Chains A and B, each alone.
Chain A
């Protein structure tokens, strides 16, 4: 007596199809599960035995073996409860043999036979469709996310009894018994409720910071905001999702897939329709930030994919944690390797960081700042240079004047800004059709040369800037990408001088040696005092 049931398992955010093979043969009564599985998955046997008993079916006193194939991949989760029980029922003859052909079954089982939701149904159903499976039987609680996939029959089941009844029926009767569900993603995205983000018009003043956020939203550029405490850095960051364009269907599906695989999709939610906004505490560990664990779970950088990752008080983060973000920010994905394989997670958040400029927070206002130049320098050095290099815009969020605070002054709403942003994105979409890029900041160096043409005058200007500042090539390309977005926002295909100069203006600071080193007005190559000279006298005495 042998049966084989198809189910799926999550690997990273993608899934693979798995076979649950069940065999009942004579021998000492036992229930063995094999196939490289974790503890909670192995417990499926006990759950299945009790659930079947409560259904009135007793396990035969025989040798039962369940194998999960492919057996080489480590597996975890409760997804095999249901396929194991279906496999047994097929072996025992309660379900006809042919009823499970081309059917995928997934779900967790309660002792009373109730079927409970599991992680990663969306990507499992996607994989099933790609492999030509005709029917997916999923827990009712996961039905909506599974139903996002069209062209495959997705059916939600509530109890084991219901599932058995379903499989006993002929294909024609089945659809009448439990009709397959379909959810329209576009329709869900169309009904955009108010997300509860603060509106940009609630932020007083801060013209420059607002403009920078607009550009950042339009081209997916990373931003570092610095300023005194209480000036509105966090508030501005929270406004950002409200001015970013609404999610496209592909983006929403990708985010939903991540959240579904991580088990973070709220029950009865079909689709994540808003851009994620994550703001971890600065004590966060590296594993939480980029993903980790024996079988790696996605990190915050993945959970904020296509949304906003807001790192407040960035100077308080440990250097290790920040540095671990460097490669993912560059590659837009993170690959976590374990002995048993590599797990790939997409990681394309819009990074917004906020910091105080010095320990007391008021530098460069020398009337209020009480820090010594050394302290300021030390504080600013806490954020590693290579990390800063990956930031496009560095903007100051200063103290708001009283007239700005109390005056009713014209302030644009998030919706107005968003319309401009969407136009700029539309422009990028047209430009990048047929290329792997989505946003201006995605461009590779050769793409920059192709998509950011400069006329001879601007080329000359940029040459002077490059030489005069001793810019890095990365910075040079960043300038062009930023200028590209600024031009897009202004509705221009041609990059003008003002676009380019604005972009350059935001990158001048890193070349501003004077401020970074305070007392060291004239910089030269030699900067470190040889250790030998510091205490030469000691050596001579000894």
Chain B
């Protein structure tokens, strides 16, 4: 992406501490652009704001901080930011993300590293629980990978759990992956996603409405969520409890008129409660990544029955297994975590004979080495595929 010049006055305006979106919007009702605000006097600013802010008396304070900030040299600040590899775009520029322009409470300016979510490419936000299950982890990866490979941008929050996994999977698949942060774009949070931060810096994009250096704060994250949904055409919920940050994202997505898709889960799983509820409320059902892809590109010719194809793939992988491994593979199914005692019991009832622990472990190891099963925790197993 070619570098675009930063509008220094817009940057200046949005970086003033204590002056938020609302104040800026009010100012720009009178002034035509940020540069004009820069040259306004204390009295003029006061006049613009007076009576228009939520609390009376705020105007004087805001005017004071703006005048104080006028001592800064916007051009120099912009140059500093550019040198650090951080971009800035305000709503005044034409390359401001079109998707955001329409949303309620649109930020005046946003900071980004590398690039912004392109307007001309479909974009999906993948969100979900931080404390996700093995199932959620697996599906987040599969969906993000498939979507990215089909040229769809993946927007997430780089949080623990679903967000981070989806962002990473999309980037690793070679697709477009963006993260909207609840802190400055130069701050790594959470720390364990430092590696993902590096990947996105190199190959994806990092976006935030908060000035560089802003530390992560609890109150910033719910506001960040409106940008995640705002930057996407469709929000895909992987796993969510009934009350969670994910619900906030979904709420703002509905407010912004975005489509919602949810990954169905078992009704007994607390972590799928949110998703199942969304489906019952009319959200799209994301059974396979193809369902979501078809939403953008229409029904593909050969992908009429995704389940059929999935079954075929599974059968193909099953071919190479030994007799005993086949039984275990069938018993394991896909995704659900099971304990060895239970699995052996099922195998015995299918085979009608005693199954040794050795035989079981040998089969299990075989499946794991072939990548068809995985150990979760200690000696719990799940099928993959």
Assembled-state Cα–Cα distance A458/B336 (Å): 31
Residues of A within 8 A of B133 (CB): 366
Residues of A within 8 A of B134 (CB): 364, 366, 515
B270/A373 in contact, CB under 8 A:
no
- Residues of A at the B interface (CB closer than 8 Å) are 205-208, 211, 224, 226, 357, 363-367, 371-374, 394-396, 398, 401, 404, 464-465, 468, 486, 490, 497-502, 504-506, 508-509, 512, 514-515, 517-522, 524, 526-529, 533-538, 540-541
A515/B168 in contact, CB under 8 A:
no
19 contacts between A and B (CB under 8 A): A357-B377, A366-B131, A373-B130, A374-B160, A396-B378, A465-B369, A501-B363, A502-B358, A506-B361, A509-B375, A509-B378, A518-B161, A519-B160, A519-B193, A526-B194, A533-B186, A536-B186, A537-B186, A540-B213
B186/A502 in contact, CB under 8 A:
no
B375/A208 in contact, CB under 8 A:
no
Is B281 an interface position by the 8 A CB rule? no
Is B127 an interface position by the 8 A CB rule? no
Residues of B within 8 A of A518 (CB): 137, 160-161
A211/B376 in contact, CB under 8 A:
no
Residues of A within 8 A of B172 (CB): 522
B131/A372 in contact, CB under 8 A:
yes
Residues of A within 8 A of B358 (CB): 486, 490, 498-499, 502
Encode contact with A along B269-285: 1 for CB under 8 Å, 0 otherwise: 11100000000000000
A528/B377 in contact, CB under 8 A:
no
**Residue of A226, A521, A526 ringed by the most chain B CB atoms within 10 A:** A521
A367/B269 in contact, CB under 8 A:
yes
Is B218 an interface position by the 8 A CB rule? no
Assembled-state Cα–Cα distance A527/B366 (Å): 30
**Residue of B184, B187, B269 ringed by the most chain A CB atoms within 10 A:** B187
B362/A364 in contact, CB under 8 A:
no
Q: A372-B130, A373-B131, A505-B361 are known contacts. Are A515 and B375 too (CB-CB below 8 A)?
A: yes
Q: A367-B269, A373-B131, A497-B362 are known contacts. Are A519 and B165 too (CB-CB below 8 A)?
A: yes
B213/A537 in contact, CB under 8 A:
yes
Report the count of interface residues on B (CB-CB < 8 A): 55
A520/B137 in contact, CB under 8 A:
no
Question: Measured between C-beta atoms, what is the minimum distance from A205 to chain B in Å?
Answer: 6
Question: Measured between C-beta atoms, what is the minimum distance from A358 to chain B in Å?
Answer: 9
* Beyond A373-B131, A514-B137, 5 extra complex contacts between A and B, CB < 8 Å: A211-B357, A224-B378, A398-B339, A501-B362, A526-B198
Task: Kindly identify, within residues 283 to 340 of chain B, every residue whose CB is under 8 Å from any CB belonging to chain A.
Answer: 337, 339-340
B341/A208 in contact, CB under 8 A:
yes
**Residue of B164, B191, B362 ringed by the most chain A CB atoms within 10 A:** B362
Assembled-state Cα–Cα distance A87/B187 (Å): 82
Residues of B within 8 A of A373 (CB): 130-131, 160-161
Residues of B within 8 A of A528 (CB): 194
Assembled-state Cα–Cα distance A506/B299 (Å): 46
From B161, B271, B341, B376, contact of A515 by CB (8 A): B376
Assembled-state Cα–Cα distance A11/B379 (Å): 45
Residues of B within 8 A of A394 (CB): 378-379
Assembled-state Cα–Cα distance A541/B212 (Å): 12
Residues of B within 8 A of A226 (CB): 377-378
- Residues of B at the A interface (CB closer than 8 Å) are 130-131, 133-134, 137, 141, 160-161, 164-165, 168-169, 172, 184, 186-188, 191-195, 197-198, 212-213, 268-271, 337, 339-342, 344, 356-359, 361-366, 368-369, 374-380
A374/B165 in contact, CB under 8 A:
no
Residues of A within 8 A of B198 (CB): 526
Question: Measured between C-beta atoms, what is the minimum distance from A64 to chain B in Å?
Answer: 68
Residues of B within 8 A of A490 (CB): 358
Question: Measured between C-beta atoms, what is the minimum distance from B29 to chain A in Å?
Answer: 32
* Majority secondary structure of chain B interface residues (helix, strand, loop or mixed): helix
A208/B340 in contact, CB under 8 A:
yes
Residues of B within 8 A of A540 (CB): 213
Residues of B within 8 A of A211 (CB): 357
Question: Measured between C-beta atoms, what is the minimum distance from A398 to chain B in Å?
Answer: 5
Assembled-state Cα–Cα distance A394/B377 (Å): 10
Question: Measured between C-beta atoms, what is the minimum distance from B326 to chain A in Å?
Answer: 16
B169/A398 in contact, CB under 8 A:
no
Q: A366-B134, A367-B270, A395-B378 are known contacts. Are A508 and B193 too (CB-CB below 8 A)?
A: no
Assembled-state Cα–Cα distance A524/B141 (Å): 17
B341/A207 in contact, CB under 8 A:
yes
B192/A364 in contact, CB under 8 A:
no
Assembled-state Cα–Cα distance A226/B376 (Å): 13
Question: Measured between C-beta atoms, what is the minimum distance from B271 to chain A in Å?
Answer: 6
Assembled-state Cα–Cα distance A136/B252 (Å): 92
A398/B187 in contact, CB under 8 A:
no
Assembled-state Cα–Cα distance A127/B187 (Å): 70
A357/B378 in contact, CB under 8 A:
yes
B191/A529 in contact, CB under 8 A:
yes
Assembled-state Cα–Cα distance A367/B270 (Å): 6
B188/A396 in contact, CB under 8 A:
no
Residues of B within 8 A of A533 (CB): 186, 188, 194
Question: Measured between C-beta atoms, what is the minimum distance from A181 to chain B in Å?
Answer: 49
Residues of B within 8 A of A367 (CB): 268-271
For A533, the closest partner residue in chain B by CB is B188
Residues of A within 8 A of B339 (CB): 396, 398
B379/A395 in contact, CB under 8 A:
yes
From B192, B194, B369, contact of A517 by CB (8 A): B192
Residues of B within 8 A of A512 (CB): 374-375
Assembled-state Cα–Cα distance A517/B201 (Å): 22
From A206, A524, A526, contact of B341 by CB (8 A): A206
Residues of A within 8 A of B191 (CB): 529, 534
Residues of B within 8 A of A357 (CB): 377-378
Residues of A within 8 A of B368 (CB): 505, 508
Q: List 5 A-B pairs, minimum CB-CB distance, nearest first.
A: A537-B213, A529-B194, A396-B379, A502-B361, A501-B362
For A404, the closest partner residue in chain B by CB is B341
Question: Measured between C-beta atoms, what is the minimum distance from A154 to chain B in Å?
Answer: 49
Q: A373-B161, A374-B160, A508-B368 are known contacts. Are A364 and B361 too (CB-CB below 8 A)?
A: no
For B368, the closest partner residue in chain A by CB is A508
B341/A398 in contact, CB under 8 A:
yes
For B377, the closest partner residue in chain A by CB is A364
A505/B270 in contact, CB under 8 A:
no
**Residue of B134, B192, B193 ringed by the most chain A CB atoms within 10 A:** B192
Residues of B within 8 A of A207 (CB): 340-341, 344, 357
**Residue of B186, B340, B366 ringed by the most chain A CB atoms within 10 A:** B340
Residues of A within 8 A of B376 (CB): 364, 515
Residues of A within 8 A of B379 (CB): 208, 394-396, 509
Question: Measured between C-beta atoms, what is the minimum distance from B210 to chain A in Å?
Answer: 11
Assembled-state Cα–Cα distance A533/B183 (Å): 13
For A528, the closest partner residue in chain B by CB is B194
A501/B365 in contact, CB under 8 A:
yes
Assembled-state Cα–Cα distance A526/B197 (Å): 11
Assembled-state Cα–Cα distance A497/B362 (Å): 8
Assembled-state Cα–Cα distance A290/B212 (Å): 53
For A206, the closest partner residue in chain B by CB is B341
Residues of B within 8 A of A468 (CB): 369
A521/B168 in contact, CB under 8 A:
yes
Question: Measured between C-beta atoms, what is the minimum distance from A331 to chain B in Å?
Answer: 27
Assembled-state Cα–Cα distance A311/B379 (Å): 20
Q: A208-B357, A497-B362, A527-B195 are known contacts. Are A396 and B168 too (CB-CB below 8 A)?
A: no
